[in-house]
């Protein structure tokens, strides 16, 4: 029988790409997300690749959500071998303009949900003689950027939590804690982001395919490396932030204004942060086809 793999955030983007990768390897899958329509579509894609799939429409931001997902997976498959923490939401806005409830939900989903998931799954990994937890962090786990402070705070916290948990697990042979750190990835998270900037949001280039992250997730479950970055072109920002922080601050602010938040006006929205937006979902957000600059006639100023 194949591995039992839980993928949170498995309905879209990186999580869906990872689920498809594990499906091709013969895994039995539990896909966890809020959107039942997107979950069903992702599950069908995985089944076409030969996987047995359990779908769990659970919000990982709720206090009991991770435990319910872990319990349901073990009730169906008898164990958990790999837990992929990919559930994530995104928010644009200044510290002053971002509503409290949006900020709090970003933290709940991107940090506290994964912390609760680790606590829920560890007893099952220990009972099964070991297993792997893979957290999907971000380049923003290691650097900062303007107008994305809630996301940055959550991803910084997730990396710190993962490192602390890894140290604790040294006493429990067979349980491994890994982190994958993507830069800008072509997923739907940006279209679905909350936005209180008044501008249209775009991922900072260069944007790479979600399947690259999925490959890294699968590899890290088998390899020796604890932390793996994806999207090397942007990782030049890490040494710049530490070696020349003032230069970095000016650089990242200018980059965000020029390419991350275009001048096309956008109305305030909570996106999919507070409530699920039901649709079939997809791995890609179509960003790889978006040029850095559009002709003036197509921007609306």
Task: Return the DSSP state at 205.
Answer: S
Instruction: Determine the length of the chain.
Output: 301
Copy the structure tokens of residue 198: 């008044």
Give how far Cα 216 sits from Cα of 65, 180, 222, 250, 286, Å: 26, 7, 10, 31, 21
Give one DSSP letter per residue of 188-199, joined into a string: TTTTTSEE-SSE
Task: Return the DSSP state at 233.
Answer: G
Catalytic site residue from 124, 140, 147, 151: 151
Q: Please check whether residue 198 is in contact with residue 94, taking contact to mean a CB–CB distance below 8 angstroms.
A: no
Which helix (H) or strand (E) segment holds residue 124: the answer is helix 113-127
**Cis status, amide bond into 206, omega within 30 of 0:** yes
- CA 253, distance to chain mean position in Å, is 23
Instruction: Identify each DSSP E strand in the chain by its residue range.
Output: 4-8, 28-33, 52-57, 82-85, 91-92, 131-136, 175-182, 185-186, 194-195, 199-201, 208-209, 227-230, 261-265
Distance CA 103, CA 14 (A): 22
Pairing relationship of beta strands 199-201 and 261-265 according to DSSP bridges: antiparallel
Q: Is 140 among the catalytic positions?
A: no
296 CB-contact burial (10 Å; exposed 0-12 / middle 13-18 / buried 19+): exposed
Which of the residues are catalytic?
151
């Amino acid at each position: 029988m194949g591995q039992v793999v839980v993928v949170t955030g498995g309905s879209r983007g990186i999580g869906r790409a990872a689920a498809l990768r594990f499906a091709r390897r013969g895994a039995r899958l539990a896909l966890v997300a809020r959107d039942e329509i997107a979950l069903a579509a992702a599950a069908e894609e995985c089944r076409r690749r030969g996987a047995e799939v359990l779908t769990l429409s659970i919000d990982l931001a709720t206090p009991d959500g991770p435990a319910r997902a872990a319990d349901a997976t073990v009730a169906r498959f008898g164990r958990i071998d790999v837990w992929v923490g990919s559930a994530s939401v995104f928010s644009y806005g200044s510290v002053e303009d971002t509503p409290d409830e949006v900020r709090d939900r970003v933290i709940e989903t991107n940090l506290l949900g994964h912390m609760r998931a680790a606590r829920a799954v560890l007893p099952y990994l220990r009972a099964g003689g070991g297993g792997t937890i893979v957290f999907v962090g971000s380049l923003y786990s290691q650097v900062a950027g303007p107008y994305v402070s809630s996301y940055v705070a959550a991803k910084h916290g997730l990396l710190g939590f993962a490192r602390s948990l890894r140290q604790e697990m040294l006493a429990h042979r067979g349980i491994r804690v890994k982190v994958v750190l993507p830069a800008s990835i072509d997923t739907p998270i940006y279209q679905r982001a909350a936005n209180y900037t008044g501008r249209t949001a775009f991922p900072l280039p260069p944007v790479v395919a979600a399947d690259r992250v999925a490959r890294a997730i699968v590899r890290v479950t088998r390899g020796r490396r604890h932390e793996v970055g994806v999207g090397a072109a942007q990782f030049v920002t890490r040494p710049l932030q530490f070696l020349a922080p003032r230069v970095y601050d000016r650089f990242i602010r200018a980059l965000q204004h020029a390419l991350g938040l275009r001048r096309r006006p956008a109305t305030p929205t909570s996106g999919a942060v507070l409530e699920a937006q039901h649709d079939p979902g997809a791995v890609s957000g179509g960003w790889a086809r978006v040029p850095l600059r559009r002709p003036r006639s197509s921007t609306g100023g």
